[in-house]
């Protein structure tokens, strides 16, 4: 069996950046998949499931309610190596196209102080496994260390 493309990337050379993982044709539309690398794989500690779960709920809610990207958001969710998230958008994008959206999203998550959307037994299958303070911390770290200082070299997989 052939390795899928993401298993052919040298993860020892990865840093917290924003990458296009793939672009797929779905009917007449393009779907762009972004990797939002939040930690340096195999060097930094991975994120715990509780903060990842909180980030997933916050980001999915924010993105699906966004005035511009709400109707273009297909999916936001974790990669279970626990170092990044996927964002799938309808449309043919480059990483630089969504930097402002990500700044808006991660600012929202880093400042969020209310009840996490969907954090109830009726709304979520594992509602007790969420950690808002850590989700805020990780979001602020990614915002300050990556998104607010992003350079062109941080928008592509390292070669």
**pLDDT tens, 55-84?**
999 999 999 999 999 999 999 999 988 998
Distance CA 145, CA 131 (A): 21
Q: What is the pLDDT of residue 159?
A: 65
State whether the Cα torsion 23-64-100-10 is positive or negative: negative
Q: Please choose, from the candidates 82, 85, 87, 86, the residue with its C-alpha nearest in 3D space to the C-alpha of residue 44.
A: 82
Residue span of the structural domain in which 106 resides: 5-155
Least confidently predicted of 38-42, 64-68, 107-111, 141-145: 38-42
Count of CB atoms within 10 A of residue 6's CB? 13
Per-residue model confidence as pLDDT tens digits over 117-156: 999 999 999 999 999 999 999 999 999 999 999 998 889 8
Q: Assign residue 39 the CATH number of its domain.
A: 3.30.1360.80
Domain count across the chain: 1
């Amino acid at each position: 069996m052939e390795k899928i493309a993401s298993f052919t990337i040298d993860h020892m050379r990865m840093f917290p950046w924003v990458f296009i993982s793939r672009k797929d044709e779905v009917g007449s539309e393009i779907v762009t998949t972004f990797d939002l690398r939040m930690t340096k794989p195999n060097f930094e500690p991975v994120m715990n499931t509780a903060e990842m779960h909180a980030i997933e709920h916050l980001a999915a809610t924010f993105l699906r309610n966004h005035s511009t990207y709400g109707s273009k958001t297909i999916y936001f969710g974790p990669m279970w190596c626990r170092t990044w998230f996927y964002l799938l958008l309808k449309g043919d994008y480059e990483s630089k196209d969504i930097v402002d959206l990500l700044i808006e999203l991660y600012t929202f998550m880093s400042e969020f102080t209310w009840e996490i959307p969907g954090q109830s037994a009726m709304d979520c299958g594992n509602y007790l496994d969420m950690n808002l303070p850590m989700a805020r911390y990780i979001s602020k770290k990614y915002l300050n260390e990556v998104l607010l200082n992003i350079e062109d070299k941080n928008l592509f997989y390292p070669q």
